[in-house]
Structure 1
C-alpha cells in the first residue's frame, strides 16, 4: 500500500498515491462571516471582490444589510475587518483600487422598485458618492479601464404572484454610469433599453448579470428570458440571441426518493443562464442555473455572435456525482444548479471557475482551447457558493458561500480561500470515477477494513432509504481513494427498506454484520443484520426486551466482532443510563446472550457528545467520540480506546461496569488540515493490520450540508 503525506495545518494526513509535482488549487483557509456580524440573526457572504493590492476582500451581506471586509494580508489566516451598515440590501460589489462600488436595493416591493449605487472608500469606510439608479439592482461590474460601471437593473418578478412568470412590470434595464478618476457622473448615466429583444417576455426583461471585456463591451444575461445581449459603453445593442436549450440524458429527475438513479432525461431544457464572464474579447462563459422554465445543469462558452463554442451538457454534473456531492433532493428542479462563473489566468493558464450552488463545489476548467475545456479539479466549498474573485498576482481564488445554516444546525456562511500551489490536489478524498457506470454516493457511515484484501467496506445511512448500499473502497490507488464496487443491500431480492445502517463489520465467512440505528418515529427498528457477500439480509436480530423497555431514541452507531461476540456502540444515553454515560452492547452470536458495559462520555461544552463508531484491533476496542458541533464550536472530535480485557459484558437489567478509556487521537487538527471548517459528523473508522486508521465523515446526503466528505488516513501510532 502506497501513500503520500500531505502536511497542511498541524496534522499530517496520509492521502493515497504518490506525491505528484503539479500546479493545483488547494483550500488554505475558511472565514465565517459571522465573525464580522456577531450580533446579527443571520449573516451571508454573497458577492465578493478584492482591492487592487489584493489584501482586502469586500463582500455583500444581504440579510445583515452590511458590506463586509476581510483582511487577507496573510491569506491562510484571514481576519475580520468590520462592516459598513447600509440603508438596504446589498446585491453586488465591484472594486477599483481601494474604492468599492456597491449596489443597494431599497425597493418597497416588486412594483415600487428603487436602488442606488454607492461608492465607498475601503480604507476610511467613507462614502464617496451615490447615484440613484431608479430600480432594483442586481449585478455590478466595472470596466477594465475604469471608465464606467454597468449595473443590471433586474426589477425581478414576484414568483408568488399569479403563475409567477415574467410579464410583470416594471421592466428591467441596464444602467451605465460614467467614471472619471473613480468619481461617478450620475447625471450622465445611461439607461440602456433591452426590451423587445427576447423571445420570452420581450416586454419584461430581467437583466441578471453583467460583465465587461477589455473593449468595453457589456454582456448581459437575462435569466428568465433565456436571452443574451451584448452592449457597447453607450448602451447600444451590438448583438443579442437566445441562450438556447440542451438535451439532457442520464440525469436524476426525481427528488426525495432517497436514491441516486441517473436514468432520466430532459429534452430541450432551457439554459436560462445566471452568471457570465468574459474569457477573451470574443468569448464568454455562462453558468446555466435556470429559474423559471429551465436550468441545463451545466455551463456554456458562447462567441458573442451567439455561436455555441462549448457546452458541458451533463459532464459537469456527472463529475460532481462521482465525488459524492450530488444534491438528491434537488433532482426534480435544477440538479447541482451551476450559478456562478468567473475567469482568471494563473501562471499563464486561463481558467474558468464554475460554482454549483446546490452541490457546493467549484469546478476548475483549463480553457486554453475554448472549444475543448478540461476539467482539472473540483474544489469543496461552503454551502451555496454564490460569488468568486480571483487574485492571480497572489495565486488566490476566493469563494463566497451564501447559506447561513444557523437555524438548521448546519454550517454558517463562509468565505473560502484557495491557493494555486506546486502541490498535489488534496480534494476529493473519495471518488467513484473509476467505475464503469455512473455511481453516486453519500452519507457514508460505518466502515470496516478487510485485512486480507486491504479494501474497506462502508455503508450509507437512512438518507438513501431506498438505496441501502455497501461500498467497496480501495484506499491504495493513486490519487483519491476509489469506490470500486457497490453491494446493494436487499431483502428478498429487493432493496431493503426500514434500515438506518450505521455500522458494518466482517462476519469472518465472506459476509457482514450491520448495525441499524433505528428510528421508531419513522418505523425503522433498532437491530443488527447478518448480510451475505452479495448483500442479501439472511438474519435479522431485534433488540431484547431488556433494551426495548428503556428510552432509546439514539441507537447503535457502530459494530465490531471479537470472536463470537458482536459489540455495538450506542450513540447517546438511554433512559436507564447515568448522565453522560452510554452503553457498549454485546451480543454473542453462538449463544444468543446479550450484555453490556458503560462508557463515560466527555462532558459537552455545547450541545451533546456521543459515540459514532466502534472497531476492534489488537488488544483494544477503538471508538469515535464526538460532539454535534460545527466549525469553531467543535470541541470533542476524537478516537479513544478501551482495553479488550476490560470488555466483559454484564447481564442486562443489572448494574453495568463502567470501562476505563484513553484518548488516542484528537481529530480536530486533521479536520482543519485542508483549510475548511470542522465538519460535524465523523462517522467511520477502519483500522488496517499495520495500525493505519482510515477516518471518514458523513455528508448528510448534501442536505443542509456542503457535501464535503473527508476520507483520510492516520499513520500507525
Structure 2
C-alpha cells in the first residue's frame, strides 16, 4: 500500500476515534529498554502537527538539513538540524501542482521527491529541487512512485512505482508496477536538457504469461484479471555499493526483484517463502566451556576447575556483540554421600558469582570476574553444612555431615550456602536460594550478604537463642514458613525469581509433610511448594506447583522429580524447569525427561494455613494429594502449560539443567551443573585422593540458546500468548537495505505484511470465517475459537490448493520480524518471535497495542507490532540494523556485524503509553514510518544519529547513538 494511502486511512481512523474515552494507564513512563552496547538517546523532536505529516525523511550533510515528506499538505518541510536538540523549519517545498509526495532523497545538494498524481493510477513524477527548495526540473515516471533513492555513485535516481489499482473489474484501472531510472545531470546545461524521454522504465512485462511458473516458485500473482506486470507492486529499493544492481521489494507478492541498472532489465524474481509458525522450540546452538580456571588443589594434590553452575541470569550485550551472563557455583566440589556423610573435596571453597561473556559467532567464552560471596561481616562464605543434629537425614532442620577427603568431619558454617538459583533486583543486588535450610540469601552487588532468610524454628531446633521476629540470629532471620524445613534432604530451594517486587522461591522436590513420609513415598509425590516473600513487609504466602514426575520407563531411567530452575516472564508468570538426571548419549532419548513449563499464580490457593485433610478416609497434607484430591478440598494449584520439551528441542546432552535465563530478545539460555566434574568418583580416605569411577564421563558446562517460535494470534484471549500455531506467515517486506562483506551482498528486510483491499477484491478473512479441511485440521472447532486462531487475519488467496472451498493451510500476512538474506534469496537469519517477546517484556500492559490506541493485545490478530521502517549503519567497527515498529512504536536495534549471527542490542520506544495517542505531542512518537541513519562524519554532532519520522504523531525525532 502506498504511504499516501496509509495516511488517508490513518486520518480517517483518527477522526472516528477522537472522541472515544480510552482507559488511563498507571504506567506513565516512556518505554526504553536496556540499550546494552548501543544507546539511543533522544536529542530533539520536530512536530509537524498532524497525522500523516511525517513519513519519509532525508538528510543533506552540506547544509545540515532534513527534508521531511508531508503527504497531508503535499509539501516537503526543510528542517535545520545544526542543533539537533532543536530542529527548526526553514521553509517548505509545495508539490501540489504535481501531486502528493511519497518519498524524498538527497545527494550532492540535489533534493529528489517522488510524487504521485491524482488519480494515483496516472504516471507520477520525480521533481528535483535545490536544498533551498527551488525547483530545478520534474520528469514523469511510473504510476504511484512510492520510494525514491540515489544510486551510491550519484549517477541516477530510482523510483519504486507501486502501480496500485483503483480497484478490480469494470471501470477500474490497474497500472503496471515498474521501476524508473532517472539520470542525474552533472551541470546546469544538462539539467535544462533533462526530459521525460531520458527516463528509463523497468517493467515486468517479460514475465507476462508465466503466472503458473511464478506461483509454483512461491511468488504471489493473484489480482483478479491482472497480468504479472500489473500484479507486481514495487515497494522499496536498495542499491548495491557498486551501483550495478538494485533489489526491490514486491511486498504483496512476497518477493524481491533483482534489477540490472546498466541494462534496465529484471534479472530475477526471488520468492521469499513462508515462515512456519507451527515450528516447535529448538536449540539454536550449544557451546561447551572448555577452558575454565583452577579453583584449588585438594589435600591429595589434585587440581580442580571452576564449574558446578547452578543458576543463570542474562545481563545484556557487549559493545562487540557478545552475550553477557552471570551464573554461580553451588557449595563446591563434593562427592556422593555415604549415608549421612557428604565428602567435600575443597572444604574451604567459597561459593561465587561468575560473570562471563559468550561470543555467539565463535563460541568463545570469556570469564570476566569471580565475585567471592561474603558474610555480612566480610568473612568469606563456605558451602559447608549449617546444622548437624543427628545422622538421621530425614530430620527437619538437619543437614548432612560434611567430611573431608580423609573422612574427617569438617567444620560447620552457620551461614553456609549451597546456592541453586539467582535473580537480579532492580538495584543490581542478588537474590539467591539454597538447598540446606532451605534459605533465601540477599547479596549486594559486591557479593556481601545483606540478609539470610530461613524457616521459622531453625534456631530452636539447633538449640540456639531464638532471635526476635525480623532480627537476625546465628543462622539468619526466621522469616520463611517452618514447613519447608521438612524438605527432602539436599532438596531445598532450587529456583528463585522476582515478580512485581516480590521474591518467589521454588522448593526442589515435595516436602516431607507430614514428617513420617518415607523417601519411597516422596518418590511418588508431585507437589512442590512455591514461597512468595515480600521484602517490604516480610509477609509470605505459599502455593502448590504440581510436577509431572512420570514413572520410570527403564531400570536406568532417573525420575523427573526435581525443579531445575525458574525464571520470571512478562505478565506475572514464570518458566519452570522440571528435570531428571539422564542425558545423551548414555541414555535413549525416550527416557530423558527435561521440560520447561510456563506457569502463572493467578487464582492459585494460598496454602500457608492448611493442615491435614481427610480424603478417601485417609488423612493427607496438600503435599501428598493428587490433583483430583486437591480439587475435592478446594485447593487450586499453580496453572502450567508446556513451553519447551527440551529433548525434542535438541538440548538433552547434559544431566542436570540448573540454570535458566530469559534473554532480552525472548530467547532462552540454559546451563548445566556439571558437579565440577567429580560427581562420579571413588575416594581413597587413606591417601586423600580420588579416581574417576568406571563409566563416569565428566561433563563440560554447556550453554544452550533456545528459540521459541510462534506468534500471538488473538486479540480476544486477554493474555500475552506467543506460541506455535498451525499457520504460515508471508514475509512481505516493506523496507530493504543492503551491505557487502567481501564479495557477498546481504539484504536486510523489515517484514511488515500487507493485504489488498480494493473495490472488487479483498483478500483477508478471519480464520473463524473459513471452512477448514477436517483432515488437515481435525481440531478445527477449537482452533476457530476467538481466543485461539479464530480472530487471526489470513489471506483467502492461499491454502485451498484444490479449490474445493476447504482450507488445508492458513497463511497470515507479514513476518512480524526482520530478516537477512543473501542476494540469491537464501535466508541467513530471521528474528522469529523476538519483536513480540521484546515488546511484551518492555511494556506488558500495552502489549501489541496500536499506534492510534492503547488497547492491550489489539494488534495480535493483525500483523502484531508490524515492522516497517529500516535503516542500516556502522557505529565504530560494528554494523547495526534499526527496525521501526509501526504499531506499538519504537525502534529495535540489532548488531548485524556477523549477518549469520545477529545479536539483539536494545529496544527504544519514545512513546508515553499513559497519554492518549491523540494528545500530541505529549503522547510521544507514534507510528514510526521512515528511519534514516546519519554517519558520524556527516553528523552535526560528530556522532552518528538515527532519525525517525513518525506518521501518526507527525513527529520527527533525532537520536544520538553511543557505544
TM-score, with length taken from structure 2: 0.38
Map 1:111-150 to 2 at 5 A. 112-123=121-132, 125-150=133-158
Contact 1:286 / 1:300 at 8 angstroms: preserved in 2? yes
Alpha-carbon displacement from aligned partner over 1:616-652 (angstroms, at most 9, x marks no partner): xxxxxxxxxxxxxxxxxxxxxxxxxxxxxxxxxxxxx
Using the alignment, how far apart are the partners of 1:273 and 1:398 within structure 2?
21
Contact 2:737 / 2:748 at 8 angstroms: preserved in 1? yes
Q: What's 1:236 paired with?
A: 265
Is 1:262 the counterpart of 2:791? The answer is no
Is 1:274 the counterpart of 2:734? The answer is yes
Change in 2 beyond 3 A, CA 1:258/1:69: farther
Q: What's 1:104 paired with?
A: 115
Q: Once structures 1 and 2 are overlaid, which stretch shifts more, 198-207 or 70-79?
A: 198-207
Residue 185 of structure 1 and its aligned partner are, at CA, apart by 5.7
Residue 271 of structure 1 and its aligned partner are, at CA, apart by 0.7
Residue 42 of structure 1 and its aligned partner are, at CA, apart by 5.1
Using the alignment, how far apart are the partners of 1:219 and 1:387 within structure 2?
18
State the secondary structure of the residue aligned to 2:840: helix
State the secondary structure of the residue aligned to 2:839: helix
Residue 16 of structure 1 and its aligned partner are, at CA, apart by 12
Q: 1:180 aligns with which of 180, 185, 199?
A: 185
Map 1:519-558 to 2 at 5 A. none
Using the alignment, how far apart are the partners of 1:252 and 1:93 within structure 2?
35
Is 1:24 the counterpart of 2:39? The answer is yes
Q: What's 2:777 paired with?
A: none
Change in 2 beyond 3 A, CA 1:350/1:168: farther
Residue 314 of structure 1 and its aligned partner are, at CA, apart by 1.0
Contact 2:37 / 2:905 at 8 angstroms: preserved in 1? no
Q: 1:306 aligns with which of 825, 829, 838?
A: 825
Using the alignment, how far apart are the partners of 2:947 and 2:818 within structure 1?
20
Contact 1:107 / 1:114 at 8 angstroms: preserved in 2? no
Using the alignment, how far apart are the partners of 1:50 and 1:73 within structure 2?
11
Q: What's 2:238 paired with?
A: 211
Is 1:383 the counterpart of 2:932? The answer is no
Alpha-carbon displacement from aligned partner over 1:157-211 (angstroms, at most 9, x marks no partner): 34x7579xxx972221111111232745642221112242753223411111111
State the secondary structure of the residue aligned to 2:865: coil
| Unmatched 5+ stretches in structure 1 | 1-12, 35-40, 404-411, 423-717
Residue 141 of structure 1 and its aligned partner are, at CA, apart by 1.0
Change in 2 beyond 3 A, CA 1:22/1:278: closer
Q: Once structures 1 and 2 are overlaid, which stretch shifts more, 246-255 or 182-191?
A: 182-191
State the secondary structure of the residue aligned to 1:146: coil
Q: What's 2:101 paired with?
A: 90
Using the alignment, how far apart are the partners of 1:48 and 1:170 within structure 2?
27
Residue 256 of structure 1 and its aligned partner are, at CA, apart by 5.0
Using the alignment, how far apart are the partners of 2:830 and 2:35 within structure 1?
30
Residue 20 of structure 1 and its aligned partner are, at CA, apart by 11
Using the alignment, how far apart are the partners of 1:316 and 1:42 within structure 2?
25
State the secondary structure of the residue aligned to 2:710: strand
Contact 1:239 / 1:304 at 8 angstroms: preserved in 2? no
Q: What's 1:401 paired with?
A: 950
Q: What's 1:283 paired with?
A: 746
TM-score, with length taken from structure 1: 0.51
Contact 2:835 / 2:865 at 8 angstroms: preserved in 1? no
Using the alignment, how far apart are the partners of 1:21 and 1:340 within structure 2?
22
Q: What's 2:935 paired with?
A: 392
Q: 2:878 aligns with which of 346, 349, 361?
A: 349
Contact 1:174 / 1:194 at 8 angstroms: preserved in 2? no
| Unmatched 5+ stretches in structure 2 | 1-28, 222-227, 278-708, 756-794, 796-812, 850-856, 911-924
Q: 2:838 aligns with which of 308, 315, 319?
A: 319
State the secondary structure of the residue aligned to 1:299: strand
Q: What's 2:862 paired with?
A: 333
Change in 2 beyond 3 A, CA 1:304/1:318: same
Using the alignment, how far apart are the partners of 2:254 and 2:32 within structure 1?
44
Contact 2:752 / 2:868 at 8 angstroms: preserved in 1? yes
Using the alignment, how far apart are the partners of 1:401 and 1:114 within structure 2?
27
Change in 2 beyond 3 A, CA 1:187/1:52: farther
Residue 22 of structure 1 and its aligned partner are, at CA, apart by 5.5
Change in 2 beyond 3 A, CA 1:148/1:14: closer
State the secondary structure of the residue aligned to 1:181: coil
Number of aligned residues: 388
Contact 1:301 / 1:310 at 8 angstroms: preserved in 2? yes
Alpha-carbon displacement from aligned partner over 1:407-445 (angstroms, at most 9, x marks no partner): xxxxx31101100225xxxxxxxxxxxxxxxxxxxxxxx
Q: 2:710 aligns with which of 246, 250, 256?
A: 250
Q: 1:151 aligns with which of 154, 159, 162?
A: 159
Using the alignment, how far apart are the partners of 1:371 and 1:318 within structure 2?
21
Residue 27 of structure 1 and its aligned partner are, at CA, apart by 1.4
Q: What's 1:688 paired with?
A: none
Map 1:41-60 to 2 at 5 A. 44-53=53-62, 55-60=64-69
Contact 2:733 / 2:752 at 8 angstroms: preserved in 1? yes
Residue 399 of structure 1 and its aligned partner are, at CA, apart by 0.3
If asked which structure has higher relative contact order (CA below 8 Å, sep 6+), I would say 2
Using the alignment, how far apart are the partners of 1:299 and 1:397 within structure 2?
18
Map 1:318-717 to 2 at 5 A. 318-324=837-843, 325-327=847-849, 328-381=857-910, 382-393=925-936, 394=939, 395-403=944-952, 412-422=953-963
Residue 255 of structure 1 and its aligned partner are, at CA, apart by 1.8
Residue 54 of structure 1 and its aligned partner are, at CA, apart by 6.6
Change in 2 beyond 3 A, CA 1:20/1:243: closer
Alpha-carbon displacement from aligned partner over 1:512-535 (angstroms, at most 9, x marks no partner): xxxxxxxxxxxxxxxxxxxxxxxx
> Which structure has greater strand proportion?
1
Using the alignment, how far apart are the partners of 1:271 and 1:144 within structure 2?
27
Contact 2:738 / 2:748 at 8 angstroms: preserved in 1? yes
Using the alignment, how far apart are the partners of 2:887 and 2:150 within structure 1?
28
Change in 2 beyond 3 A, CA 1:339/1:21: closer
Q: What's 1:461 paired with?
A: none
Alpha-carbon displacement from aligned partner over 1:444-487 (angstroms, at most 9, x marks no partner): xxxxxxxxxxxxxxxxxxxxxxxxxxxxxxxxxxxxxxxxxxxx
Q: Once structures 1 and 2 are overlaid, which stretch shifts more, 265-274 or 133-142?
A: 265-274
Q: What's 1:605 paired with?
A: none
State the secondary structure of the residue aligned to 1:156: coil
Contact 1:68 / 1:83 at 8 angstroms: preserved in 2? yes
State the secondary structure of the residue aligned to 2:858: helix
Residue 300 of structure 1 and its aligned partner are, at CA, apart by 0.8
State the secondary structure of the residue aligned to 2:102: strand
Q: 2:204 aligns with which of 194, 197, 217?
A: 194
Using the alignment, how far apart are the partners of 2:30 and 2:251 within structure 1?
44
Alpha-carbon displacement from aligned partner over 1:248-293 (angstroms, at most 9, x marks no partner): 2432211255443334525321111111011226111011111124
Using the alignment, how far apart are the partners of 1:42 and 1:72 within structure 2?
22
Contact 2:257 / 2:268 at 8 angstroms: preserved in 1? yes
Contact 1:26 / 1:420 at 8 angstroms: preserved in 2? yes
Using the alignment, how far apart are the partners of 1:377 and 1:20 within structure 2?
4
Q: What's 2:80 paired with?
A: 71
Residue 150 of structure 1 and its aligned partner are, at CA, apart by 1.0
Contact 2:142 / 2:201 at 8 angstroms: preserved in 1? no
Using the alignment, how far apart are the partners of 1:118 and 1:142 within structure 2?
13
